[in-house]
Amino acid sequence: MDCKSRALFISTLFFSFIHPALLSTHPSNEVNLLDSKASQGELGWMSYPSHGWEEISGVDEHYTPIRTFQVCNVMEYSQNNWLRTNWIQRQSAQKIYVELKFTLRDCNSIPLVLGTCKETFNLLYLETDEDQGSRFREHQFTKIDTIAADESFTQMDLGDRILKLNTEVREVGPVTRKGFYLAFQDVGACVALVSVRVYFKKCPFTVRNLASFPDTVPMDSQSLVEVKGSCVNHSKEEESPRMYCSTEGEWLVPIGKCLCNPGYEERGSSCQGVRWGGGGGVGQPPATPCSRPPSAPRNVISVINETSVILDWSWPEDTGGRRDLTFTVLCKRCRVAQRPCEPCRSNVRFLPRAAGLHNTTVAVADLLAHTNYTFEIEAQNGVSSQAPKMRQYAAVTITTNQAAPSPVTVIRKDRTSRNSISLSWLEPERPNGIILDYEVKYYEKQEQETSYTILRSKGCNVTLNGLKADTSYLLQIRARTAAGYGASSRSFEFETSPDSFSISSESSQVVLIAISSAVAIILLTVLLYVLIGRFCCHSKSKHPDEKRLHFGNGHLRLPGIRTYVDPHTYEDPSQAVHEFAKELDASCIAIDKVVGAGEFGEVCSGRLKLPSKKEICVAIKTLKAGYTDKQRRDFLAEASIMGQFDHPNIIRLEGVVTRSKPVMIVTEYMENGSLDSFLRKHDAQFTGIQLVGMLRGIASGMKYLSDMGYVHRDLAARNILVNSNLVCKVSDFGLSRVLEDDPEAAYTTRGGKIPIRWTAPEAIAYRKFTSASDAWSYGIVLWEVMSYGERPYWEMSNQDVIKAVDEGYRLPPPMDCPAALYQLMLDCWQKERNNRPKFEQIVSILDKLIRNPGSLKITANTTSRPVNLLLDRSSIEVTSLDTMGDWLDSMRTLPCKEAFSGVSYSSCDTLAKTSAEDLKKVGVTIVGPQKKIVSSIKALETHTKNGPVPV
Ligand code: ACK
């Protein structure tokens, strides 16, 4: 048999054995650029020389024709046979994948081989901007790889009619030209190329959290592509929806979401109108036969936002046989003791209007805060006026929420001198409560807010002293009520008088008085300046944090972000709870089962169905019978605190039941429960990106709390809840209660109860709880997450933990922990609290890691790390790694940078230096090898690892 006929013999046999897998469909995130199997006719690829590769037609087992190429010139020397595909357009691919299916003959099984039989062939490619037709130059091609068979077949296999099909996939990228060719170079093998598929990956169009994400082509590099989602029809953004497209064509880390507009409900991945009958359209003449006035509108839904409400309803069941329907909304203000209700004030605004509405929705704004209103919605058609009958309307009663005051709009300059300005202003149009004080912020116009001064004033006027002469100042004012700060006024500009002109501008008639008052003002200013200076120096040396609250840049509450109000400052705590939490009717709550135990009673899961609202799953905390007044107060304090927050990473309060028993706090339901037990249940099952996504959520929630001025004091994985989408939310709020209800809290020598393992040294030593001590606790949560719920400091006693931490020892990196995250932990555990990262910085560091997941591959674990409990902080060396440039850039913004600059850090092998002896020296006893360390060693020995679980 000559070699050609042998090849034909092989191919003939081959086609009767094509595996059905060949016909399988490909994953939806792969876009084919070429699929040889899909071609019915000749592929027409170029073969050079002509007696090399040969195109053969065959059929698969379903008698579907397929085209293959084969070569088997094993009887001849010096083979160099090229097969080149047609020009393949790149489309939007950045990286392409080449999937080859082929069979290859074992050289040993070929009798009488005269040439030099080979068992490999070469795969090459050439990028071009246009089809080069039959022009072909070998040297222009770049080799991708030598392709060898995992399994070659022998004569015996042929006899047994078994053929071994090999599949090999190679990646090529980045590809940048308009198209490319592939080539197969044979140097003397007996090979049949059964199929060639070229594809690229994309993250396919998807809808997540009611936001649609378009087809996205990943980057060629390790970086993720950040994609912003667009809200589906009839929905709007709650938090900007984003996802990341990985190089593998997978969507990762969904952040943010959209919510259905009023009148629409979430069905599948779309928002659909609440179902109602009736048609639309206007203009039908009143004389239409059988016309009658319509019945009342139905299904009124109200969505309250502070002092505005959106009303949404369905068409009436009976439209009166007409389609020319309009709606009218009547607003009534109802005081409990005063019946009947009175019409609303004329300044209440209706958008688009109150009468003649063609749509079934209206927005009502400028209502009073904390007030009951009833809205009556009536439908009319063309015959309503001609056929008077009993008014039929749908009514809905709402209570507006607490609202922050509206901005100050009128500010007046009363007097100016060389270095002072006196101002007064009018109370905001809608104070929405009693104004406690005003915050006046001002700065030199030239300085552009890089440094500014804040004054507080109880009344509507203030004098700004100590100003520079002949200088422009910008000033903003905002009012504060129990609901927090309102929005800031716009910036007003004022100028001080020039040096040569030192009289008040508005009392120029009495020059003498003006001069003397100016002198007095200057003297007073100097005196004040000295006093303030002294006070500041004094406060600086004593309380650096407090000082910054007055003068720092970036440490003041941000304008527009409300400040947390401590419910314990209320004389009557039940007033606080009703200010911040909605009273729910117990009949709206169905308890399903007990899910856990809290300090005050059981925690249950159940459902909440409010009138005109969709039923939702909730968690219900109950106050057990026989409680004392103090217990009731402390129990409800949590609701008063939680009710002030509104953030996707903070557990949401639905309301409280205080008017019937049992007293309950109702919150959103978090399907996966507490983070610590959830992680323990799923040990080693998440990808690095998934863990970082969870950590980012926690950091974002903590940033919101610290912006609000709330210090959590008990941040720990057990106090984070996880929902079915893996979203983590901070929970467990309270003050004295926090530490009493936490089983981890222990009494300190000073009598307080503190969760030692999670708490910063200064908070343990002298109760200095700040957002910086929360950052320390965040570092511990980070460690808990990366070690899948391991107990910080294992079984060490609290006393040993305090001592070791005080002496500079820190927890070692958890198994497989990315170096970047371990570095972040160490930063959170800086002894000097001002050097710890702010939550804003933590969020941005984690965002950078998510965008650059390659940096997560560098781990802080080493095989050479001794089995120790703690690492001496001073022996940890950290500097830059090229591949972590981005991460380090972000680290450079941290104050700790100086501590590490100039130290060389090549791998994390150097991280662990402390021996058991060292630990003994500081009084740390090693309590046997711990679970994680043992498992990490086992894992290193076996090199086995589970894949991520789908969540
Ligand atoms: O880990 P778990 O199942 O999650 O056990 C605790 C238990 O109640 C005592 O706190 C669970 N739990 C608390 N709040 C919620 C919530 N909002 N949703 C679901 N489970 C909750 C917690």
If one residue of 592, 642, 674 were mutated to test the ligand 1 pocket, choosing by the most ligand atoms within 8 A of its CB, it would be: 674
Give the residue with greater pLDDT, 640 vs 916: 640
- In degrees rounded to 5, what are phi and psi of residue 834? -70, -15
- Please indicate whether residue 603, judged by its CB atom, sits closer than 6 Å to ligand 1: yes
In ligand 1, the atom with minimum distance to the C-alpha of 676 is 1
- Please indicate whether residue 595, judged by its CB atom, sits closer than 6 Å to ligand 1: yes
pTM (two decimals): 0.44
- Dihedral sign from CA coordinates of 232, 237, 238, 241: positive
- Please indicate whether residue 653, judged by its CB atom, sits closer than 6 Å to ligand 1: no
Residue having the nearest C-alpha atom to atom 8 of ligand 1: 596
- Please indicate whether residue 672, judged by its CB atom, sits closer than 6 Å to ligand 1: no
pLDDT of residue 518: 60
Give the residue-averaged pLDDT of 321-328.
84
In ligand 1, the atom with minimum distance to the C-alpha of 677 is 1
8 Å CB contact between 235 and 282 = no
Q: Tell how far the Cα of 672 is from the centroid of ligand 1, in angstroms.
A: 8
870 band by pLDDT with thresholds 50, 70 and 90: low
Cis amide bond preceding 662, omega within 30 = yes
pLDDT of residue 931: 34
- Please indicate whether residue 167, judged by its CB atom, sits closer than 6 Å to ligand 1: no
Q: Tell how far the Cα of 724 is from the centroid of ligand 1, in angstroms.
A: 13
pLDDT of residue 176: 93
- Please indicate whether residue 617, judged by its CB atom, sits closer than 6 Å to ligand 1: no
What span, in angstroms and rounded, lies between the C-alpha atoms of 209 and 257?
A: 5
pLDDT of residue 594 exceeding 50: yes
In ligand 1, the atom with minimum distance to the C-alpha of 673 is 4
In ligand 1, the atom with minimum distance to the C-alpha of 669 is 18
Q: Tell how far the Cα of 844 is from the centroid of ligand 1, in angstroms.
A: 29
Residue having the nearest C-alpha atom to atom 20 of ligand 1: 673
- Dihedral sign from CA coordinates of 733, 734, 735, 738: negative
What span, in angstroms and rounded, lies between the C-alpha atoms of 604 and 615?
A: 16
Residue having the nearest C-alpha atom to atom 12 of ligand 1: 673
Q: How many CA atoms lie within 13 A of 646 on its CB side?
A: 10
- Please indicate whether residue 598, judged by its CB atom, sits closer than 6 Å to ligand 1: yes
8 Å CB contact between 180 and 126 = yes
- Please indicate whether residue 669, judged by its CB atom, sits closer than 6 Å to ligand 1: yes
- Dihedral sign from CA coordinates of 700, 788, 598, 569: negative
Lowest mean pLDDT among 352-361, 861-870, 928-937: 928-937
If one residue of 591, 593, 603 were mutated to test the ligand 1 pocket, choosing by the most ligand atoms within 8 A of its CB, it would be: 603
Give the residue-averaged pLDDT of 212-217.
92
- In degrees rounded to 5, what are phi and psi of residue 344? -70, 160
- In degrees rounded to 5, what are phi and psi of residue 267? -130, 115
- Please indicate whether residue 549, judged by its CB atom, sits closer than 6 Å to ligand 1: no
In ligand 1, the atom with minimum distance to the C-alpha of 595 is 8
Q: Tell how far the Cα of 783 is from the centroid of ligand 1, in angstroms.
A: 21
User: By C-alpha distance, which of 726, 950, 698, 725 is closest to 846?
Assistant: 698
User: By C-alpha distance, which of 634, 612, 632 is closest to 623?
Assistant: 632
8 Å CB contact between 76 and 187 = no
pLDDT of residue 454 exceeding 50: yes
Lowest mean pLDDT among 44-58, 498-512, 698-712: 498-512
What span, in angstroms and rounded, lies between the C-alpha atoms of 184 and 53?
A: 9
pLDDT of residue 222: 65
What span, in angstroms and rounded, lies between the C-alpha atoms of 727 and 241?
A: 14
CA distances from 902 to 422, 884, 914 (A): 53, 16, 22
8 Å CB contact between 113 and 74 = yes
Q: Tell how far the Cα of 674 is from the centroid of ligand 1, in angstroms.
A: 6
Q: Tell how far the Cα of 736 is from the centroid of ligand 1, in angstroms.
A: 21
Q: Tell how far the Cα of 590 is from the centroid of ligand 1, in angstroms.
A: 17
User: By C-alpha distance, which of 276, 357, 280 is closest to 316?
Assistant: 276
Residue having the nearest C-alpha atom to atom 6 of ligand 1: 596
pLDDT of residue 650 exceeding 90: yes
Give the residue-averaged pLDDT of 9-21.
39
8 Å CB contact between 751 and 280 = no
Residue having the nearest C-alpha atom to atom 5 of ligand 1: 596
- Please indicate whether residue 723, judged by its CB atom, sits closer than 6 Å to ligand 1: no
Strands across the sheet containing 411-416: 411-416, 421-425, 461-464
525 band by pLDDT with thresholds 50, 70 and 90: low
| Residue 267 one-letter amino acid | R
- What percentage of residues in the chain have a pLDDT greater than 90? 34
Lowest mean pLDDT among 98-107, 194-203, 664-673: 98-107
Give the residue with greater pLDDT, 159 vs 485: 485
Ranges of H-type helices in 330-436: none
Q: Tell how far the Cα of 315 is from the centroid of ligand 1, in angstroms.
A: 41
Q: Tell how far the Cα of 711 is from the centroid of ligand 1, in angstroms.
A: 22
8 Å CB contact between 746 and 813 = no
- Please indicate whether residue 890, judged by its CB atom, sits closer than 6 Å to ligand 1: no
pLDDT of residue 919 exceeding 60: no
Residue having the nearest C-alpha atom to atom 14 of ligand 1: 619
If one residue of 638, 721, 723, 724 were mutated to test the ligand 1 pocket, choosing by the most ligand atoms within 8 A of its CB, it would be: 721
With b meaning 16 or more CB within 10 Å and e meaning fewer, what string describes 182-211? bbbbbbbbbbbbbbbbbbbbbbbebbbbbb
Q: Tell how far the Cα of 728 is from the centroid of ligand 1, in angstroms.
A: 12
- Please indicate whether residue 721, judged by its CB atom, sits closer than 6 Å to ligand 1: yes
Lowest mean pLDDT among 270-274, 371-375, 645-649, 858-862: 858-862
Q: Tell how far the Cα of 730 is from the centroid of ligand 1, in angstroms.
A: 12
In ligand 1, the atom with minimum distance to the C-alpha of 731 is 14
Cis amide bond preceding 498, omega within 30 = no
- Please indicate whether residue 677, judged by its CB atom, sits closer than 6 Å to ligand 1: yes
24 band by pLDDT with thresholds 50, 70 and 90: very low
pLDDT of residue 939: 29
Give the residue-averaged pLDDT of 358-381.
87
pLDDT of residue 574 exceeding 80: no
Give the residue with greater pLDDT, 322 vs 299: 299
Q: What pLDDT, in 10s, does the model give residues 780-813?
A: 999 999 999 999 998 888 999 999 999 898 999 9
- Please indicate whether residue 724, judged by its CB atom, sits closer than 6 Å to ligand 1: no
Lowest mean pLDDT among 172-181, 286-295, 437-446, 609-618: 286-295
Residue having the nearest C-alpha atom to atom 9 of ligand 1: 596
CA distances from 195 to 9, 73, 122, 917 (A): 18, 20, 16, 63
Residue carrying structure tokens 């709020």? 733
List the catalytic residue out of 676, 714, 732, 774. 714
Tell me, yes or no, if 800 is annotated catalytic.
no
Q: Tell how far the Cα of 894 is from the centroid of ligand 1, in angstroms.
A: 35
Residue having the nearest C-alpha atom to atom 15 of ligand 1: 619
Q: What pLDDT, in 10s, does the model give residues 817-866?
A: 999 999 999 999 999 999 999 999 999 999 999 888 888 988 875 433 33
Helices (H) and strands (E) in the chain, counts: 18, 47
- What percentage of residues in the chain have a pLDDT greater than 70? 73
- Please indicate whether residue 670, judged by its CB atom, sits closer than 6 Å to ligand 1: yes
- The total number of residues shown for the chain amounts to 951
On average, the pLDDT of the chain sits at 77
If one residue of 591, 593, 594, 595 were mutated to test the ligand 1 pocket, choosing by the most ligand atoms within 8 A of its CB, it would be: 595
pLDDT of residue 944: 25
The alpha-carbon radius of gyration of the chain (Å, integer) is 37
Q: Tell how far the Cα of 688 is from the centroid of ligand 1, in angstroms.
A: 25
pLDDT of residue 540 exceeding 60: no
- Please indicate whether residue 599, judged by its CB atom, sits closer than 6 Å to ligand 1: no
